Amino acid sequence: MSHSDWIKIEFQEFVNKFNIELVIQKAPKILYSKKDKEHVAENSLIAAILIAGLSLIYIAISVILMPIYPINTFIFYPVLGASGMAIGWFTYNYYHLMQSRELYEQ
């Protein structure tokens, strides 16, 4: 193993010597601001709640209309399955982003 000494340098000298693009490209994700990541988690939660509400409205209307229009049953289950998968994906995305945000804050 080689012995290396740490030398303190000024940030502006480093930027002038190499380039600001190098600093931006090599910066770890923890250096990004929290505002860049917060809105994504909140948007995912809003989308999950919106889809859940629309699914409940769709179920209520479909239950009322099923005796009148029997063709509605062919559409009912695929729409219900797709909305359930979307709710699951948005909820997982929200949970994952909140966990990663908590890790960055530590």
Residue 58 falls inside a structural domain: yes
| 9-25 tens-digit pLDDT | 787 887 788 777 777 77
* pTM flag (> 0.75): no
Range of the domain at 44: 32-105
Instruction: Name the domain count of the chain.
Output: 1
Q: Which of 43-52, 77-86, 90-99 has the lowest mean pLDDT?
A: 90-99
Residue 13 falls inside a structural domain: no
Question: Which one, of 47, 61, 44, 57, lies nearest residue 100 by Cα?
Answer: 44
Residue 35: both structure tokens together: 């505002």
